[in-house]
Chains A and B, each alone.
Chain A
Amino acid sequence: MRHIISILLENEPGALSRVVGLFSQRNFNIETLNVAPTEDSSMSRLTVTTVGDDRVIEQITKHLNKLIDVVKLVDLTEGNHIERELMLVKVKAVGAARDEVKRTADIFRAQIVDVTPSVYTVQITGDTGKLDAFVQTMAPIGILEVARTGVSGIARGDKLLTL
């Protein structure tokens, strides 16, 4: 099963490599990875999506917790949560395709953020499934390039991942 694990990580040199190294060292999977600073400059927030049965996920969270640079973590998929990913897609947009791209983007509530005579760059936000669907829909028209941020997420309601 797919899990989204969010981690508060010390903002120390090499901290990220310890997390990433752990996954390869222990033969765990990384599907997506997203890292950025938080409001507290001493910590980054890292979100990783991974796949595994309960035993594997238990081992992943235990081993992550063991890393000295990991301050706190939560498996978001254990509760109600919001997950989002942002994607920028460059599509070929000439002739009839220009309208088709525009229409599809509207259906997905995506925005066209850059235009040239032959190319549209579309920005879309949503969960992984929505982004995958958009890529599938656009594929026949002609995708030139895809840039995805990887999943980020947060628990719904009062639940917090803070110190």
Chain B
Amino acid sequence: MGRVVLVARLAARDLRRRPGEAALLLLAIAAATSTLTLGLVLRGVVSKPYQSTREATAGPDVVVGGIADRAGVKALTGAPGVVAHSGPYPVVAAALAANGHTVVAQTEGRDSAPAAVDQPKPIKGAWVQSGGVVLEAAFAEALGVSPGDRVTMKALDAPRAPGAKPSARTRGPGRSFRVAGVAVTAAAPPYPEPACLANLCQGDADTGLAWLTRADAMSLAADKQDVGYVQNLKLADPSAAPSFAARYNPPPDASPRAGASGPPPTILQPWQDIREASANLVKNQRRALMTGAWLLALLAVASVAVLVGGRMADQIRRVGLIKAVGGTPALVAAVLLAEYVVVALLAAATGLAIGWLTAPLITEASAGLLGSAGARTVTFSTVGIVTGVALAVAVAATSVPAIRAARTSTVLALADAARQPRRTGWLIAISARLPVPLLLASRVAARRPRRIGLAVASIAITVSGIVAALSAHADIADGSNSVRADRLNQVLLALTITLVALAAVNAIFVTWATALDARHASALSRALGATPQQVSAGLSAAQVLPALAGAALGIPGGLALIAAVDPDSTTMPPLWQLLAVVPATVLVVAALTAIPARVSARRPVAEALRSELA
């Protein structure tokens, strides 16, 4: 017991002596843990609310959609396994104008009497009435309309083939409708997922769902050709919906896009697919967050390793003293590890808290499902995973130096001999031919190759993240769903900023640690005739050159990352963006490191030499 207390006391005292570093460590690991928490919390955020909505609205097991094919759609009601149905209902694409926005609305014509299958449940106002339109809940929220407001709707051309670009041409005069109510449904994913009823889609465009009376819907359509029909089926065995749909869907290899002449075929959509689609946005956000979390965790390992390495030189003497008074190597390693483990645990707690608090910012996207607002749970498994990751970061970064320190012989430790920098003969020989700042830079770097490696790694990780984000952004921008794009871009931006901020802090710290370490060499160089400008340029170059290498590695790294995370994405970011990342990184690192380098290079030489008696 006494040992544990001793370890705890030594660890606590050490942490108290260096609060700044402890704070930095906390920051680095907390960034990773918050992101991870967010990602994990988002896991169950959609499935339960969808289930509640399905139950409350008698959600369909299969949605059948066909364009101008009422008969074909209706025919399926007799298929084996079908126990109930509703529809066919007419579906018209319309341009809905409200509050200055104009958005495409997939409009379904319904009866005022409740349907057997898929009866959308109004959460505000009432169901359809003549002259009244009911909007899907998330759609209404995005538009900012409530029951009682007025909107204008104009019919649009229906796309002739699936995947074709939505037509922007409106037909006929617009009609003004009063918003009768706001409802939720399980037959289509909530806004901003495109409201596709089976295959009745407007491509990937920003589309919301709305309901009118049959008569109003038919009157909107200018042309019979523009009207699609949707049918909702209930099966005896809801879990068999995908196989049911597969049985009646056209074979997947029949490529409908190849110069389709006739109307697109009738498509069946099982409810599992709708549930998937409902989770689309959150899924993408979650994927970005998880990727970001791992990148941040790696960056945290690099940051912690730099910090640990920087302190190891001071720790070695302390290690020797502990050993000299009878502590075992195990005790030594335990003290070193204990400090970082404590910080890691704090960071895990901080991350869990931050993740839990910020989750609503993302989950409000699923406002279109019942009971979804505020549906975030931090399960035990989440806590376990986050804590495990935080501890893994701490252990990964500290284990190697801790073990090495514990194995150092007591005599060597007390003599501070472990502070001897490494000698790289070939680098010293080459550096003699370089101009003075580069000579100084390469020799400074050669003294601590591990730290340079970590600096390269952190820049590479950061640039990988940036390139991956740029790729994802290009992919999003490729689609035409602007609202979904916005939401996703927000998450990407937040991740990128966090990554860059941490990398910046890391770069400053590495420069500071290097300058500290090179104090003697810098002062001596100046005593031997190097100007402060040369020394400062050297210290800066010692950071900028690894940054260059890191940026160069980060570009293929980022592309590989995006390929691994999202194999379907084929969009590359614009070449100019990719090419600009490297010089941008170099400039930023140069700017960040210029000040610590300059400050260090201007210290009075005599003082620096006096305090660094070798």
| A, B in one complex | no
Residues of B at the A interface (CB closer than 8 Å) are: none
Residues of A at the B interface (CB closer than 8 Å) are: none
